[in-house]
Amino acid sequence: MFYLNHTTHKGGLVKAADYADTIRRTFDMKKICRVTSGRLTLILLTFYCLTSAVPAGAAPAYGVLGQPTLADTTFASRCPDLNAQFNIQDNGGPSGIAIDPRDERIYVTDYGGGRVLTWPNADALQACQAADEVIGAGDLFGPEAVAIDVPSNTVFIADTLSHTVKGYRRVGGVWTLVVTLGTQGVSGSGLNQLNFPRGLAVDPGGRLFVADDFNNRILIFDPPFANGEAAADSIGAGANGGFANPKGLAMSGNTLFVADYFGNRVLRFTGPFKTPDQVYVASGIFSGLNHPVDVGMHPDGSLLVTDQGNVRIARYNDAVWSPSRAAPTSSFSDNMNPEPLGVATDRDGRIFIADFSAFRVLIRKESVKKTPISKASSAAAKALLADLHKRPKRALNRVAIGQQLITWKYGLKTNPNAWYGDWLQLEQGGFPLPEVMGGELSDLMSYPGFSPNQDALDELIAHGQAGHIVTLVWHPNNPAAGGFSTPTSTANLQNMVNDATAVGAAWQTQLDRAAAVLQQFKDAGVPVIFRPLHEQNGNFFWWGDNGTSKAALRARQSAWVKMWRDMVTELTVKKGLNNLLFAFGTNQVNFDGVVPPLTYYPGGNWADIATIDIYDEQLDLGGNTRGLQHYAALVGTGKPFGIAEFGQSFGNNGTGANASAWDARTLATRIRDSYPRTTFATAWYSSVEGGNSYVFALPDVSHTLELLQDPLIDTQ
C-alpha cells in the first residue's frame, strides 16, 4: 500500500496533473490507498503541537475527540474504543466536520476508517467518549466532507476516493444509503460525474453544492435527489481566473464561500444561484493564505479558514459584508499539528478542527456573545436577554406567550372594540394572562398632525414595570414616498444613511420620533424587545427584498445592512437608549416569494434576537421543508429564537364559519416537535380591515385555555 502524507491527498504540495497520474497508477478501491508528498519521514517521525502565539492564559480551553488528552497525538495513544478513535484502517485521521444547528449533533468523517462518526453534542462529552452512531461503514472509501440536509435529515458525505457523494438517512432506526451522486469508482467531467469531490454545503432551499476538485468547479444539485442525477448548474469562477482545485465550502444565507486551494484564496459568491446560469462572479476575495483547505462560518459572522500551508485557522471578521481582504483579521494555531483539515462551528461558538495527522478533533471552546449588542445596556436589558438564552433548557414554562395589542385603535381600556380588546377578553374569561405584551411603535409617536395612543403606551410601560416582557414592532413610513408597502429602490436605501439627502433627512426625522418613544420606556426602567424593519426577506414592505439577484442583490443587501447598522448606532450610541434588545425579524415560511432568512442578516454584533413570523392554519413547521430550513438557519446564529407573530392562514384571511375553530394548541405541538428552542411566541391581534375579518388573537380561537395551561407555556 502506498502511504504518504495526506496533505497532497487534499491537493497539497504536488501539481494536480501529477497527482491525477499517481492516483490512476495506484488507486485500488479494496485497499483504499492514499497518495501523499515526500514529507513522509517528517510526518511519521515528528508528531508535535505548535505553540500558540496568544499570551499565556489568554487562549480558550480545548477539548478533544479521538485521543485521551491534548498531549496525546500518536497512532498508539488513540482512545481504546473503536468508535472513539479515528483511523481504524490505518489510512488517516478525521477530515470533515459538520454540526447540526438544531441540536448541535456532531458529524466527523473518519477518512482512514471509511465511515462517519457522530456524537449527540459537545456539552457533555467525556474523555474518549465513543460515538453513539456510525454511518457508512463498509460503503465509504476515503470520505472527506460531510453536510446535513435539515428537512429530510439526510447526511451527505463526499466519498472522495470513490468519486461520489452519498446520502444517508435513518430508516427504521438504521443509517441507510438512500442516494448516490456520481458513479462509484469512476471519475468524469459530465454534470452527472465527479472527479474527487471534496467540500459540501446545503443552502436554505435544500440545494446541494459540491466542490468537484479535479474538474475545478462547484456543482449544484436540486432536490429531490436521485441516483446519478445531473447537476442543475455549475460555478467555474471563470470571471475570477477559474478555480485551482476548490476544496471546502460554507454557506450563509445566499452567500457561498469556496476554499480555492492552489489559488491561495477564498472566493465569496452571492446568490441566489438561479439555474441554469453558468456565469458567476465573486463578490469578494479573501487572500493572505497558503493552501486553504476548508471554510466554516462562525455565529459571530467571521469566516474560519483552515490555512493548511501555514498550519493555522485564519479568521476574517464580518465576512459576508466586508469587501475583499488581503489578509486575515486574526488567526490561531494552538494545539494544531501539521495537517489541519476540516473546520466547523456550533451555534454556541465552539470551533471544531480535524487535526488529521494527530488522529483527533480539537474543540476550541469559544462562545458567542450572550450580552446585548449595545455595550452600555442597562441591567434590565442584560437580565432579559440572559433569561431568553436560558429558556430553551427549562423543563417547564419555557416559552413566554404573548398577545399583540391593536395599538392603532383608540378608545377606553374597557372598550372591547378598542386597543385593549383582545387582552380584555382574556381577563374577563379568567384566562392566564400572557407574559409578553406587544405594540406598534408608530402608534405611540407624537408629531404634528398625529396624536399617540397614550393609553396603550402607558399600559405597555406598566406591563414592563411589573416585570413582564414588552415587544415593539415598527412599520416606519417610506422616507421617500410615504406608506410602508412596495419595496423602495436600492438607491433610496443607500441614501437613508446620508442626512444630506432628502431621503436621509426624512429617515432621521423618523428615527428622532422613534427615539422619543423609546426614551419613555428607558426612563421607566423597562427593557424593550425592539423589532424594526421586519420581514425584510419578503416583498411586503418598502424595506424588503425586491427580487433581484447577483450584483443587484449584493448592492441591496449591503445597503440594507448598512442602514440597519446605522439605525442601531443612532439609537444606542447617539440617542443613548440602553434599554433595547434588537430583534432581527424574518418572514413566515409558507410564502413562495421570500428569500432565505439570513439574506439580510446584519451580523452577530448587530442583532440580539432572531425571530420569524408565521401565519398558517396548521402552523405547518414540522412537515414544511422550508420551515425546518429557516429554523435551522436562525438558531444557527446563536441568538435566542422567537416566533414574533403567529396566527392562522392569511391565505384564507382567517375568515369564515370555522375561523374561530383554529386550534391554538397547534403552536405547542409544533414547538415541541420542530422548534424546540423557541423562547417566546406572540399571537397577532384580531381585526376587521378592508372588509376582511382577521381572526388571530388568543381569545378568538379555540383551545386557548389548554394552550395557556400547557406546561411548556409561560404566562404571568
Write the pLDDT tens digit of every residue in 381-397. Answer: 999 999 999 999 999 99
**Grid coordinates belonging to 541:** 414592505
Give residue 18's pLDDT: 32
61-364 has which fold? Neuraminidase (2.120.10)
Q: Select from 269, 264, 210 the least CA-distant residue to 237.
A: 269
Distance CA(64)–CA(51), nearest Å, equals: 17
pLDDT of residue 120: 95
**What's the grid cell of residue 184?**
462509484
Q: 309 exposed, middle or buried (CB, 10 Å; 0-12, 13-18, 19+)?
A: middle
Q: Which helix (H) or strand (E) holds 438?
A: strand 436-440
Starting at the edge strand found earlier in the chain, the sheet holding 143-149 runs: 143-149, 154-159, 164-171, 174-182
**pLDDT below 50 — which residues of the chain?**
1-57, 622-623
Amino acid at 136: G
CB 93 within 8 A of CB 360: yes
| Packing angle, helices 502-523 and 454-465, rounded to 10 | 50
- Distance CA(542)–CA(184), nearest Å, equals 50
Query: Domain spanning 379-714: which CATH class is it, in words?
Result: alpha beta
Distance of alpha carbon 266 from alpha carbon 288, whole angstroms:
10
Measure the CA–CA gap between 258 and 269, rounded to whole angstroms. 8
The four Cα atoms 534, 536, 538, 544 give a dihedral, to 10 degrees, of 120
The CA distance from 461 to 465, in Å, is 6
The per-residue pLDDT for 688 is 79
The three cell numbers of residue 68 are 485521551
Return the SS3 of 612.
Answer: strand
Q: Which cell numbers hold the place of 178? A: 438512500
The amino acid occupying position 231 is: A
C-alpha pair distances (Å), 119 with each of 99, 123, 132, 457, 571: 10, 10, 6, 49, 43
Q: Give the β-pairing of 62-65 and 115-119.
A: unpaired
CA distance 77 to 82: 13
Nearby residues of 612 by Cβ (< 8 Å), 6 or more positions away: 585, 586, 587, 588, 589, 597, 630, 631, 634, 641, 642, 643, 644
SS3 41: helix
> What is the distance between the alpha carbons of residues 476 and 563, in angstroms, rounded to a whole number?
13
Write the CA distances from 588 to 44, 476, 597, 629, 646, integer angstroms. 54, 20, 9, 12, 9
Supply the pLDDT for residue 657.
Answer: 61
For the chain, the domains span 1-46, 61-364, 379-714
Indicate the pairing of strand 292-297 with strand 330-332: unpaired
Is residue 643 exposed (0-12), middle (13-18) or buried (19+ Cβ within 10 Å)? buried
pLDDT in tens, 88-122: 887 889 999 999 999 999 999 999 999 999 999 99
The SS3 call for residue 43 is helix
